[in-house]
Structure 1
């Protein structure tokens, strides 16, 4: 069929004419005060966006058709983890992310009989071992396995307050791993920023500064860098956030002659998940996975609806995996690449988030970089301020979590169902820096309800 312009019988309506029509309908109310609202990031959101206001589109390559469905598996027992991985793949998973706690894990046993063709295996390491990475490389080479190792000493510092050993030794080992590895090993755990309450601009700027610390210190980075991202519930902002992240990463990478695009793993945030009325978590994670897909995440690992209070279980894993399978195979989210291109609202958000994040990133670099500002406590203070601002909105009812601070079911009881402690744990110990604490919005109100059961 020949290309032709559609709807030529309709007159073109300019942005100015739309505003005039809206102003008439407002019957004297102020346009700016009534219809324009400001996000936590300070971005003013308009009621409509028009091509008149765009000189050029914000081009971001988002190969949505390539996104993979991942399953998280903790390797407490190698044999059980192996069996679970095989069962999960047979049920539709396209990637497996093993969280490995010990360098004594036998890779051959962990990967026994697992299909290697078209399946990505992530080794998310809770330790830093050059020998384990060497063994991983040897296995990947001999079996032609597609393995991505995830190591992030700075992420360890951020979450734990301490390095694996110390900064000098950690970076020396990481340099050896990067230089000698044939599989990607460098990982950025940026999900902690979102889960701790940082706004979208802070998340992007801190992630960029996080990446820049490694670019500055290691000249041998010749493999794709993996970035873990937590996706929140602000649907269009989250799509724009992932697009802006890829745009910013590639801009930074170009300065270091790094020619690989970043590899984004997205997971729904825990910050807005709730203990009570927990089934609503499925609705939240569904829209968050949709944002991740449309934003261009390479891999998505969904969060089970009961992850806050249940140990890993087959039912929760199956439901979370099936949510992604429905989006991919029944909702056809993987059929069109770059789906957000030409959506003026998303493109405007992408541009604004990228510009504001870049400005904050430059300020971080002018003041010593991410690690320096972590040691000084600046990053922690800024995230805390942002988190407290959002917490105030939740506590006042302006930010709503259905079933928790809006329409709660008073008959809902949870005390006897808790297999995991769902709140922030305190562990008094000596640390190099104040760790960044991940905290959910609903924790205080949930603790009060549990105390009254």
Structure 2
């Protein structure tokens, strides 16, 4: 079979010929309105892409493993070295983490991913000042013995580690090195990532307990130490999660993440480090959303732009490589119908792998409800393994490469992200941009657009704002309420046997002379210093703490989930759900479409929809509606039939039940709207309705408690 002659008997249609046929199939509908897609990134997607669309793009000629690394940083992709299965291990105690880690490592996990609780991320011990947040969806760590327990029987010389430490890294790294020293392990063999993201923390929390310059000192200290002592350990974290989880688009995620990385490069170069020392120590982390091709292109564009930036600083081809950890989106996961999260996470994991990540966490389907249990952890972990071993995604290097659509989208996304990145730079860099509220305001605008589309159900969240199941039973939560008291007791016992004030003063005295700060911190940890003591000693500066307007981190489904929650509380209080009566008038063909629409419309708000047999007369419909006792009645029929009965029915109904709410399904002409409202119709529901706002207002009007 000769591929050169295989298709020679078939003519190749031109774009104009294809478009002519496409427009015929639209039967008069607008080509642009029907076939062009406008994204939140400001990119207009075409229905078809051709070779001509990418023939002038320089990156298309690249190969995997070569700068600018659009096609990946490894020549053979995952063929010779797969991505790390880096599932976050949700546990509250070091012992529970250790047990879960050993279990999961025997079943496909390849990287330890230790998620700290809020107290540890804040550099605090689990004391009374953080009683509500000391133990949450992370592990409580406050002294070396906790890490001894968490890593018992786990060899950190062979197991890569992923550990985000919050706004500073040195205190937690000191505890880790103390553990490594006690375990007799070789520090130079540590692999993975242990580091901080102060700007990400500042945007997420709105404040830091120390100056940002002190945080930069911290990054410089741990990065210099790692460069000399742990060459395979990354220490600088750049996360897109705060942006993504606040509703940002892909352009904003890229631009603000890259601007953050450049801010860190400048700060560390000012502190004496070179680009060859800094760039390889940066760990990028991206959230992966549900728009598959956009997410694939996002990761490819990230590598392209990062290579360009590092090259501009004089970095070598090796330094230009971007290490990417990814996690499936938390922004689009739902409390309602949570098993749909399995499907969301699967498509997102696919996008991440095709996009060329280095390590991956697939969120458990119950992640936003409770700490994942053994079952949900297994399903999430096996999602990665199936994609590797059954879907064979590791067999081809950059399978998206060469796709005209993907290559064009990569370029379009990179171009827009570069423009936004330059806007940040024009303001003096990422820190200055944050201080003047630039990224916050930019993301807020996109988040509002997304929120409006979700409220109007233009963007669908299956099981939440569409196709709701109000009979579903919530997943049981089994919070470990005793763990906090256990941790307090453990802390108290430790402090009684290790004088923290003495340890603190000893380290402060040593800091006044020229010694290795990291070595001093490790010695303090060996002496029994807690994380809180180490942090207090390390960030002991008199400069005012950093404060900015934080991003509004949220999930897409929260508004509709609140409607359902209010309806559930109403059911528990009264024994009944809020009810809606559908007054369907006329033959099936006349009312079914709008009755179906109305039933779905109200179900997403937790309403019970009463749907009796249809009637033919307004008087019959009125009598049935009044007898139902429902506070809300919806008239369902077609536009052609409405003029013959709506006025009469509205007057009859309002005379019998003036306090009830009467709605009409559909959007009549403005003249008819005025007539129907004058007769007693309160409002109209249709595909353009702001579903969330209307349901919220209706709940308020009928007394559904908040």
Same fold, TM exceeding 0.5? yes
Structure 2 counterpart of 1:121: 161
Residues 1:184 and 2:234 aligned together: yes
Change (3 A) 1:110 1:415: closer
Contact 1:103 1:129 in 2 (8 A): no
CA contact (8 A) 1:127 1:164 kept: no
**Shift in Å, 1:385:** 1.2
2:292 to 235, 241, 247: 235
Is residue 414–residue 450 contact of structure 1 (8 Å, CA) maintained in 2?
no
Give the superposition deviation at 1:418. Answer: 8.0
2:218 to 165, 173, 198: 173
Which residue, out of 530, 544, 566, partners 1:451? Answer: 566
Q: Which runs of 5+ in 2 are unaligned?
A: 63-69, 121-140, 481-544, 569-706
Query: Does residue 335 in structure 1 map to residue 450 in structure 2?
Result: no
Cα distance in 1 for partners of 2:332, 2:102 equals: 32
Deviations 1:108-158 (A, max 9, x none): 543332255764211221362435435646836347342321311111211
Report the more deviating stretch, 295-304 or 153-162.
153-162
Deviation at 1:393, TM superposition (A): 0.3
Is 2:549 the counterpart of 1:434?
Answer: yes
Secondary structure at the counterpart of residue 42 of structure 1: coil
1: distance between equivalents of 2:325 and 2:297? 16
User: Residues 231-252 of structure 1: CA distance to partner in whole angstroms, max 9, x if unpaired?
Assistant: 1111111111111111111111
Pairing of 1:120-199 with structure 2 (within 5 A): 120-126=160-166, 128-130=168-170, 132-133=172-173, 136=176, 139=180, 141-142=186-187, 144-181=189-226, 182=230, 183-199=233-249
Contact 1:96–1:121 under 8 Å retained in 2:
yes
Name the CA distance, whole Å, in 2 between partners of 1:152 and 1:103. 20
Displacement of 1:6? 5.0
Among candidates 309, 318, 338, match of residue 252 of structure 1: 309
CA distance in 2, matches of 1:235, 1:129: 34
1:20-39 alignment runs, 5 A limit: 20-39=20-39
Cross-structure match for 2:265: 215
Alignment partners' CA distance in 2, 1:419 and 1:438: 23
Partner of 2:46: 46
1:366-385 superposed matches below 5 A: 366-385=426-445
SS in structure 1 at match of 2:463: coil
CA contact (8 A) 1:85 1:96 kept: yes
- Report what 1:205 is aligned to: 255
Larger deviation, residues 193-202 vs 109-118: 109-118
For the 8 Å contact 1:78–1:105, the answer to whether it is kept is no
Structure 1 residues 189-216: Cα deviation after superposition (integer angstroms, max 9, x where no partner)? 2111111100111111111111110111
Question: Does the 8 A contact of 2:169 with 2:195 survive in 1?
Answer: no
- String of CA shifts for 1:273-325, please: whole Å, max 9, x gaps: 11111110100010011010111111110101001111232111111111111
Q: Deviations over 1:399-419 (max 9, x none)?
A: 001111111012124396585
Deviation for aligned residue 1:265: 0.9
Identify if the C-alpha distance between structure 1 residues 76 and 257 changes in structure 2 by more than 3 Å, giving closer, same or farther. Answer: farther
Question: What residue is the counterpart of 2:471 in the other structure?
Answer: 411
Structure 1's 11 and 120: CA in aligned 2 closer, same or farther, altered over 3 A? Answer: farther
Counterpart in the other structure of 2:150: 110
SS of residue paired to 1:445:
helix
The change in CA–CA distance for 1:365 and 1:103 in structure 2 (over 3 A counts) is: farther
Mapped to 1, the partners of 2:394 and 2:475 lie a distance apart of 40
1:17 maps to which residue?
Answer: 17
Q: CA deviation at 1:443?
A: 0.8
Secondary structure of the corresponding residue to residue 208 of structure 2: coil
CA RMSD of aligned residues (A): 2.5
The alpha carbon displacement at 1:13 in A equals 3.1
- Provide the aligned length of Structure 1 versus Structure 2: 444
CA radius of gyration, larger in: 2
1:99 aligns with 2:111: no
Alpha-carbon distance in structure 2 between the residues aligned to 1:214 and 1:270: 26
Q: How does 1:64-83 map to 2 (within 5 A)?
A: 64-65=78-79, 66-73=82-89, 76-83=92-99
1:149–1:257 Cα change, 3 Å? farther
**SS of alignment partner, residue 165 of structure 1:** coil
Name which of 71, 83, 86 aligns with 1:61: 71
Q: Distance in 2 between matches of 1:128 and 1:244?
A: 29
* Structure 1 portions without partners, runs of 5+: 421-429
Q: Deviations over 1:399-443 (max 9, x none)?
A: 0011111110121243965859xxxxxxxxx97111112111111
Q: Contact 1:201 / 1:356 at 8 angstroms: preserved in 2?
A: yes
Distance 1:99 1:415 in 2: 23
> Higher relative contact order at CA 8 Å, sep ≥6: structure 1 or structure 2?
1
CA distance in 2, matches of 1:395, 1:86: 44
* Distance in 1 of aligned mates of 2:425 and 2:365: 39
In terms of mean alpha carbon deviation, does 384-393 or 13-22 score higher?
Answer: 13-22
1:86 maps to 2:102: yes
How high is the TM-score relative to the length of structure 1? 0.91
Distance 1:419 1:450 in 2: 20
* CA contact 2:166–2:198 (8 Å) conserved in 1: no
Q: Does the aligned pair in 2 maintain the 1:160–1:435 contact within 8 Å? A: yes
* C-alpha contact (below 8 Å) 1:122/1:149 kept by paired residues: yes
CA displacement at 1:188 relative to structure 2 = 0.6
- The question of whether the paired residues in 2 share the 8 Å contact of 1:82 and 1:109 is answered with yes
Distance of aligned partners of 1:135 and 1:158 in 2 relative to their CA distance in 1, 3 Å threshold: same
Query: Matched residue of 1:178: which SS?
Result: helix
Q: How does the TM-score come out when normalised to structure 2?
A: 0.59
Distance (whole Å) between structure 2 residues aligned to residue 304 and residue 222 of structure 1: 32
| C-alpha deviation, 1:25, in angstroms | 3.2
Separation in structure 2 between the aligned mates of residue 409 and residue 233 of structure 1, nearest angstrom: 22
- SS for the counterpart of 1:307 is coil
3-state SS, counterpart of residue 255 of structure 2: helix
* CA–CA separation in structure 2 for the residues paired with 1:18 and 1:377: 47
